[in-house]
Amino acid sequence: MEKRSILHMIDPMPHNSPFDVNMAVDAGFDVIVPYNNVKLESVSGLTQDAIFSRGPSGVKRTGIFIGGRNLGLAMDMLEACKKAMVPPFEVSVFADPSGAFTTAAALVSCVEKQLQQKHNTELKGCKAIVFGGTGSVGIATGVIASLAGAEVWLVDHLSIDTALAIATEYNHRFGCNLKGTFAGSEADKSRLVSKADIVFCTAKAGIQVIGAGVLDEATQLKVAGDVNAVPPLGIEGIKRNDIGAPLIHAINAPGAVGIGALAVGNVKYQLQHKLLKLMLETEQPLYLDFRDAFNKAREADV
């Protein structure tokens, strides 16, 4: 009799994400075990407790999911899991803190496809501005786009020091080339958008970050993507289901198109489902992070 599948969900926050729990069940895991308030130093012991109890055949039906909100901590936990493995007792591990890795991968892949389809160009060489760039989705978006060759600026709305510190931290961690900047006024936003090829809006839900007046200053904008599905939406004029619809307020950037939150969310949902199922189907243990998410997102039919 085949052993039941188990997913151990490790999270440094007080609560595990209900979204992730639902996704894991729908992907086919039989048993979901949440762990919250987990410290980095506890990950090795939890991992070895999970792997030694099931035998070499049972570990193929066992996985570890890492949540939380801090991208750097999630990657450190992933690495701690990997170091704790003792082959052949080795299970697959998937890090997706706050869904940031799969959301960012979906967003960047949708933008990349629209660049190719509508402008016959690629991410490499484009100037990309990430509003909400110091949040988890914004950082992940910036890292993915930078590693794909874009010139990326992370925007904080309160402090340039925060943006610069985060850019430096993640450049060191992943070998990308992020830059930090600040936009505390409509004039600041207009200045950034006026020279952007790509705008990513990953700010807090329910806040309009870019209005028609700011879009009116865009002169070379090609694609804008918004992950905010809660009114008011992050970028004025983009509808939730838009995927390559004209940006009506970017009147000085002919051909500029928008991507809405539900279009991105559809790819994100498919992506997380696919990666969770992959953990159950693989013969060899996998260690999945934003790079794997982006590679899979690029394969998605958008």
Cis peptide before 232 (omega within 30 of 0): yes
Q: What confidence score (pLDDT) does residue 179 get?
A: 98
In our burial notation (b when 16+ CB lie closer than 10 A, e otherwise), range 258-286 reads bbbbebbbbbbbbbbbbbbebbbeeeebe
Q: What's the topology of domain 6-99+267-299? A: Rossmann fold (3.40.50)
Across the chain, what does the average pLDDT equal?
Answer: 96
Report pLDDT digits (tens) over 147-176: 999 999 999 999 999 999 999 999 999 999
Q: Does domain 103-264 fall into CATH 3.40.50.720?
A: yes
Q: What confidence score (pLDDT) does residue 1 get?
A: 61
Report pLDDT digits (tens) over 63-93: 999 999 999 999 999 999 999 999 999 999 9
Q: What confidence score (pLDDT) does residue 216 get?
A: 96
Q: Is the dihedral of CA 153, 158, 160, 166 positive or negative?
A: negative
Rounded distance between C-alpha atoms, residue 53 and residue 49, angstroms: 7
Q: What confidence score (pLDDT) does residue 302 get?
A: 56
Q: What confidence score (pLDDT) does residue 181 get?
A: 97
Rounded distance between C-alpha atoms, residue 208 and residue 212, angstroms: 10
- Closest by CA to 109, choosing from 264, 238, 273, 270, is 264
Which conformational region is residue 58 in: left (phi greater than 0), alpha (psi within -120 to 50 degrees), or beta?
Answer: alpha
Report pLDDT digits (tens) over 190-232: 999 999 999 999 999 999 999 999 999 999 999 999 999 999 9
Rounded distance between C-alpha atoms, residue 145 and residue 188, angstroms: 22
Rounded distance between C-alpha atoms, residue 6 and residue 28, angstroms: 10
Report pLDDT digits (tens) over 26-40: 999 999 999 999 999
Task: Kindly tell me if the per-residue pLDDT of 56 is higher than 90.
Answer: no
Task: Kindly tell me if the per-residue pLDDT of 269 is higher than 70.
Answer: yes
Structure tokens at 6: 């188990």
Task: Kindly tell me if the per-residue pLDDT of 277 is higher than 70.
Answer: yes
What are the residue ranges spanned by the domains of the chain?
6-99+267-299, 103-264
Q: What confidence score (pLDDT) does residue 217 get?
A: 96
* Mean pLDDT within 2-17: 94
The whole-model pTM stands at: 0.96
Percent of the chain with pLDDT over 90: 94
Rounded distance between C-alpha atoms, residue 287 and residue 96, angstroms: 11
Q: What confidence score (pLDDT) does residue 285 get?
A: 94
Task: Kindly tell me if the per-residue pLDDT of 2 is higher than 80.
Answer: no
Whether 103-264 and 6-99+267-299 are alike in CATH topology: the answer is yes
